[in-house]
Amino acid sequence: MSQDQTDQPGGSSYDPSYDPAAEVVDLCRDLIRIDTSNYGDETGPGERKAAEHVAALLDEVGISSELFERDSGRTSVVAQWGGSAPGAGQERGGLLLHGHLDVVPAEPRDWQVDPFAGEIQDGCVWGRGAVDMKDFDAILLSVVRARARAGCVPDRPIVLCFTADEEAGGHHGAQVLVEDHADRLEHCTEAVGEVGGFSTTIRGRRLYLIEAAEKGMAWMRLTARGRAGHGSMINDDNAVTRLAAAVARIGTHEWPVRLTPTMETLLASVAELVGTEATPDNAEQLVEEFGPAARMMGAVIRNTANPTMTQAGYKVNVIPTEATAHVDGRFLPGYEDEFFDTIAELCGAGIERTFLSHQQPWETPYDGDLVAAMTRSLLAEDPGARVAPYLMSGGTDAKHFTKLGMRSYGFAPLRLPADLDFTALFHGVDERVPVDALEFGARVFDRFLEQV
């Protein structure tokens, strides 16, 4: 396509009513109202209802889709779209655009509003999934539906993918697609998903962060075994004592700063805004420039390991045979060996370590046509801003899709108020996204699709 990106979205070849943001708010609210809480086991409602809703929305504009599930109710949607011009996009392959349908649970009594009502209040759409990530699902659907209605189909082959189970590692969702249905994806050479393209404000300047890397995931179960006995007697083989000592060492360990190429690029951009130069020695000071977001950014200049659960015993006067703990470990690209060597040392003797989930990190070079298209699209809507890559502390479905060799990025664009503690809303109480940020995201993503 050849639309001039300085023009209004749509251009002369579009339907006069074309508006990529027209439906985005209502779509987001409707998705929030479908409870897809993922408890990490099989007790939740699953994603089937949301998947069928998305499939119907695509079908309305002439885009057929397929539903895939390995386990009942854990449903993902895949649709093929675009590639209308013979040979177009073949040199780069297809582009995967993916979002997930599940959300983490919410306790209604903790919220100001019903987390599954999709209410609009104070200029925001409130609800579980508003930022993670039914906002991007809605942006993607709004743009695609507007383009399909206007007959504006991308020349490049596009795969639209809405997955199950991302919030528990993607084992029932993206992993199923990669392992069982790779033929639907293998022509894709690049992928774009969540948790990127949002703004942060540093010294009065907006900086948009595009995800170009993720830490690896090591969800570990630690088990200590000892000699059972009466709680009133001396016991030098106490499983609880051994486990507690290991958990304390892990939880208080100070991991050294390690900078990957992605973070070197980001911190150089921050340093320029601050008026200094980035070095490993001032990395932590530069991270503090992110304000409340430093809690996330500080986790991507080092490996981390946080104890999250412990369990032992059944009666106060009985020393148990076994004690267990769970640890959420995250390691930087290139630093896996260092991470596991350190964990083994901190655990010490007599601690067995098994994995609940072990997924590799990834890092994509921050260059090429796709990065240029994301940057141009953002700056067309916010000319005074800056754009830079960052490394994500958590995990997304990209961990699975990169196994197929795709260059991956996170680009769910949102222009956010400087005083909004955005990172605290991920999995947080009173999760919400500004209405104008959703509409901004749809306009930016429409510009992006015009260039891919």
| Same domain (yes/no): 65, 172 | yes
| Same domain (yes/no): 382, 427 | yes
| Same domain (yes/no): 227, 334 | yes
Burial 372-389 (b: 16+ CB within 10 A, else e): ebbbbbbbbbbeebbbbb
**Burial zone of 182 (CB within 10 Å; 0-12 exposed, 13-18 middle, 19+ buried):** exposed
Q: In 3-state terms, what secondary structure has residue 393?
A: coil
Single out the residue in 339, 359, 379 at which a domain terminates: 359
Single out the residue in 319, 343, 359 at which a domain terminates: 359
Question: Is 7 a member of any domain?
Answer: no
Instruction: Please write the tens of the pLDDT for every residue from 346-356.
Output: 999 999 999 99
- Residue 268: give its domain's CATH number: 3.30.70.360
pLDDT of residue 84: 61
Reported as half-sphere exposure (CB side, CA atoms, 13 A), residue 183 has a value of 4
pLDDT of residue 92: 74
Question: Is 18 a member of any domain?
Answer: no
Single out the residue in 359, 388, 411 at which a domain terminates: 359
| Same domain (yes/no): 161, 234 | no
| Same domain (yes/no): 316, 417 | no
| Same domain (yes/no): 446, 338 | no
pLDDT of residue 42: 83
pLDDT of residue 14: 39
What is the DSSP track for 213-251?
EE-EEEEEEEEEE---EETTS--S--HHHHHHHHHHHHH
Question: Is 295 a member of any domain?
Answer: yes
pLDDT of residue 3: 36
pLDDT along the chain (452 residues), means of 10: 37 59 98 97 94 98 97 96 64 92 97 97 97 97 97 94 95 96 96 96 96 96 97 96 98 97 97 94 95 91 98 97 98 97 97 95 96 98 97 94 96 95 91 98 97 92
| Same domain (yes/no): 331, 403 | no
| Same domain (yes/no): 66, 182 | yes
Residue 337 belongs to what domain range?
216-359
Question: Is 205 a member of any domain?
Answer: yes
Question: Is 186 a member of any domain?
Answer: yes
- Residue 106: give its domain's CATH number: 3.40.630.10
Query: For 334, phi and psi rounded to 5 degrees?
Result: 90, -5
pLDDT of residue 41: 87
Question: Is 159 a member of any domain?
Answer: yes
pLDDT of residue 345: 98
Neighbouring residues of 372: CB distance < 8 A, sequence distance ≥ 6: none
pLDDT of residue 414: 97
Pairwise CA distance, residues 34 & 38, whole Å: 12
| Same domain (yes/no): 159, 58 | yes
| Same domain (yes/no): 251, 316 | yes
| Same domain (yes/no): 267, 299 | yes
| Same domain (yes/no): 260, 385 | no
Name which of 261, 199, 267 is nearest 412 in CA terms. 199
pLDDT of residue 18: 85
Question: Is 117 a member of any domain?
Answer: yes
Name which of 353, 342, 334, 280 is nearest 305 in CA terms. 342
Beta-sheet strands, E only, within 83-143? 94-100, 120-121, 124-126
Number of domains in the chain: 2
Question: Is 17 a member of any domain?
Answer: no
